[in-house]
């Protein structure tokens, strides 16, 4: 019965894991930053009176409280001024100039259009929609490329 209450002594190994070493270095860096910040602030406020320190603390707390209050208010009340004031400009679509280029292969263009019709037909049943979404997820630029080719080489 006393076997369950007996203390086990952990054996100390000479090597530490990389994660322990990294965590120690990160914690040491954060501690160093905190100490430098505290030293800088102590040096700046060394000649302040107690009243000045209290006034600065009160000002800081009021600003922090106002910021938190505004953020909390905006969560529940969507302001109407949150419209995007700068609208992004449209991206120009490159246009191929067919100067001295051979005509595109009609068979290849027919296959591309047939593939596009096949992709469009997938949206008519639920299994096709799942297949279409999986295809778009694995090949995100496929639909854009097909649209680009259809615009560049319109049907005669």
pLDDT tens, residue by residue, 64-93: 999 999 888 888 887 665 554 555 566 666
Whole-number Cα distances in Å, 148 to 84, 112, 132, 151, 152:
29, 11, 19, 5, 6
In a domain, 70, yes or no: yes
Q: What is the pLDDT of residue 136?
A: 82
Given 37, 56, 76, the domain boundary residue is 76
Q: What is the pLDDT of residue 100?
A: 62
The domain in which residue 30 lies consists of 18-76
Q: Which residue ranges of the chain lie beneath pLDDT 50?
A: 84
Query: In this structure, are 22 and 71 located in the same domain?
Result: yes
């Amino acid at each position: 019965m006393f076997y369950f209450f007996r203390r086990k002594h952990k054996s100390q190994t000479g090597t530490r894991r990389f994660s322990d070493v990294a965590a120690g270095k990160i914690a040491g860096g954060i501690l160093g930053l905190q100490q430098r910040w505290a030293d800088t602030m102590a040096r700046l406020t060394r000649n302040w009176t107690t009243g000045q320190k209290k006034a600065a603390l009160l000002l800081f707390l009021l600003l922090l409280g106002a910021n938190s209050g505004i953020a909390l208010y905006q969560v529940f009340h969507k302001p109407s001024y949150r419209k995007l004031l700068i609208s992004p400009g449209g991206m120009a679509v490159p246009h191929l100039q067919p100067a001295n280029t051979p005509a595109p292969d009609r068979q290849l263009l027919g296959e591309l259009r047939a593939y596009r019709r096949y992709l469009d037909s997938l949206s008519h049943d639920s299994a096709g929609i799942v297949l279409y979404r999986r295809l778009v997820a694995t090949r995100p630029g496929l639909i854009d490329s097909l649209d680009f080719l259809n615009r560049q080489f319109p049907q005669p």
